Amino acid sequence: MTAQPPYTEKVNCYLVLEASSPSNPYWKGARIVRMTKGKPSLERGQIAVKVNLNVPGSIFEELIPTFDLDISPENVIAPIDAELETTS
């Protein structure tokens, strides 16, 4: 029996983040609001970060894999503040 070659799976998702709220003293910094597979809709004060992961099959041998990611401003999808024009 021959050994299986190592494989890598490509996984993509979006993390939706909110900034801290001055009205809530217990909430400091950014927090993850949700994760979606497709491009998310955003509310005021939220940003989306697209995450592209190349996951090696060997990672599933670890109890809790850990990754450190740094987010730069040019990789953030910001909400568009637009007034919708209505006709009557």
Residue 64: per-residue pLDDT: 79
Instruction: Note the pLDDT tens digit of each residue in 6-46.
Output: 778 888 999 998 877 666 666 677 888 999 999 999 988 88
pLDDT for 14 = 93
- 3-state SS class at 76: strand
Category of 45 on φ-ψ map: left (φ > 0), alpha (ψ -120 to 50) or beta:
left
Cβ-based neighbours of 78, under 8 Å, separated by 6 or more: 47
Instruction: Please name the residues in contact with 15: beta carbons below 8 A apart, sequence gap of 6 or more.
Output: 32, 35, 48, 49, 51
Instruction: Quote the distance between the C-alpha of residue 13 and its chain's center.
Output: 6
Does residue 78 register a pLDDT over 70?
A: no
Q: How much is the pTM? A: 0.63
